[in-house]
């Protein structure tokens, strides 16, 4: 009996250690950030290394992966989502077209926020990758055939792409950013404006 108890105790101890060792992997984004901030306060000598690692992580952007994420975000809605947003509410009536635009804008907004954040950090290449990914996926859903909600906001892909491009371009002091012609020609040929120099350029 003692042997069995001892064995069970050892197993529980091992299980506990495994559980505790997995705490970091179970943290939310906010909790992970809090842990990192605490570590850097206690060990300020690690800040330089942490910033290098952060830059490496943020710099690993694939426009194709971004495009897939944008597609998932844009195409996630169905008529149930539209009906919940459209129609009569205590604050008034919302047209289906307006509701569709709101849903799609909310879907794309996080990607625009990430691009702005990258630009503020001076991470030019990953910011461009985000811009390319956003435009690529919006281009491929521009005819509205892949989703019923897009059918209620036919102009959304083009206008949202133009807005994302301007956000990316205008972050340059001289406003001269343009996407590589090879990218535009291969992936978004009907949006050749993305490869044109801005009017600010001489």
Residues 134 and 86 in one domain: yes
Structural domain including 29 reads 25-59
Pairwise pLDDT comparison (49 vs 123), residue with the higher score: 123
pLDDT level of residue 186 (50, 70, 90 thresholds): very high
Residue at 9 is within a domain: no
What's the structural domain count of the chain? 2
Is residue 116 within 8 Å of residue 110, measured between CB atoms?
Answer: no
Q: In the predicted model, is pLDDT for residue 3 greater than 90?
A: no
User: Is residue 4 in a domain?
Assistant: no
Residues 69 and 147 in one domain: yes
- Does 66 share its domain with 143? yes
In this structure, the answer to whether residues 55 and 67 fall within a common structural domain is no
Asked whether residue 74 falls in the same domain as residue 160, the answer is yes
Q: Percent of the chain, pLDDT > 90?
A: 42
- Ranking 2-6, 73-77, 167-171 by mean pLDDT, the lowest is 2-6
Q: Are residues 127 and 176 in the same domain?
A: yes
Tell me if the pTM is above 0.75: no
Residues in Cβ contact with 61 at an 8 Å cutoff, skipping those fewer than 6 apart: 118, 125, 126, 129, 130, 133
Residue 99 and residue 128 in one domain: yes
Q: Is residue 130 part of a domain?
A: yes
Does residue 18 lie within any of the structural domains? Answer: no
Note whether 129 and 39 are same-domain residues: no
Residue 73 has a CB neighbour count (10 Å cut-off) of 17
Kindly state whether residue 1 falls inside one of the protein's structural domains.
no
Residue 17 has a pLDDT of: 47
Domain co-membership, 127 together with 31: no
Same domain, 40 and 122: no
- Whether 93 and 118 share a structural domain: yes
pLDDT for the residue 202: 37
């Amino acid at each position: 009996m003692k042997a069995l108890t001892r064995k069970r105790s050892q197993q529980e101890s091992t299980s506990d250690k495994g559980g505790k060792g997995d705490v970091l992997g179970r943290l939310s984004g906010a909790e992970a950030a809090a842990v990192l901030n605490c570590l850097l306060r206690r060990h300020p000598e690690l800040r330089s290394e942490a910033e290098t690692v952060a830059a490496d992580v943020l710099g690993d952007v694939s426009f194709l992966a971004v495009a897939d994420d944008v597609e998932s975000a844009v195409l996630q809605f169905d008529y149930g989502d539209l009906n919940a947003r459209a129609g009569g509410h205590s604050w008034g009536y919302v047209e289906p077209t307006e509701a569709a635009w709101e849903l799609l804008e909310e879907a794309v907004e996080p990607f625009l926020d990430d691009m702005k954040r990258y630009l503020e950090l001076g991470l030019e290449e990953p910011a461009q990758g985000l811009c390319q990914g956003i435009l690529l996926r919006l281009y491929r859903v521009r005819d509205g055939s892949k989703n019923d909600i897009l059918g209620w906001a036919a102009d959304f892909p083009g206008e949202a792409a133009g807005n994302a491009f301007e956000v990316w371009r205008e972050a340059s002091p001289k406003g001269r950013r343009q996407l590589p012609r090879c990218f535009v020609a291969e992936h978004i040929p009907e949006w050749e404006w993305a490869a044109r120099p801005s009017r600010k350029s001489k």
